[in-house]
Structure 1
Amino acid sequence: MSVSGLCEVCQQPAVDHTCDRCGNLVCDRHFDAELGVCSECVAEIRGGDPSDPTGTSDDDMPDGVDTYEY
């Protein structure tokens, strides 16, 4: 679907989707086609950083800790 406006996450003019949950206008990068929602809603649903649509985050580790050794 083609819509006009700026992506409400990154402010880029290439907006192609509307979030089914919140109604945000978003670009391809910030839209999860599987869920039909924007990256901000994915972050609320699944947890994580809305600026990282891939969901790869090191938030499960305490600050300054890379590995645990026993």
Structure 2
Amino acid sequence: MTNCALVNTNLAFEYCSDIDASITTEITSVKNPISGKITALAIGETIFDDPKIDPSQTTITIGNQEANPND
């Protein structure tokens, strides 16, 4: 996904792997992505509540700043 807009998107990328997404809008929430890169204008909430998912396998960048998925 390159230069895509996600409107009112909640629980995005749940259980997706090998993500390569560049989103031009705010994502309401991202939940349990398995691996890849997500770049978005803003993300309201990042949820990692499945102990089988390793947050370090997903790089999340908000605007121009990499986010720590454990925050």
Q: What interval of TM-score do these two structures reach, taking the shorter chain for normalisation? A: under 0.3
* Larger relative contact order, structure 1 or 2 (CA cutoff 8 Å, min sep 6): 2
TM-score (norm 1): 0.20
Whichever structure has more strand as a proportion of its residues is 2
Bigger radius of gyration: 1
TM-score (norm 2): 0.20
Whichever structure has more helix as a proportion of its residues is 1
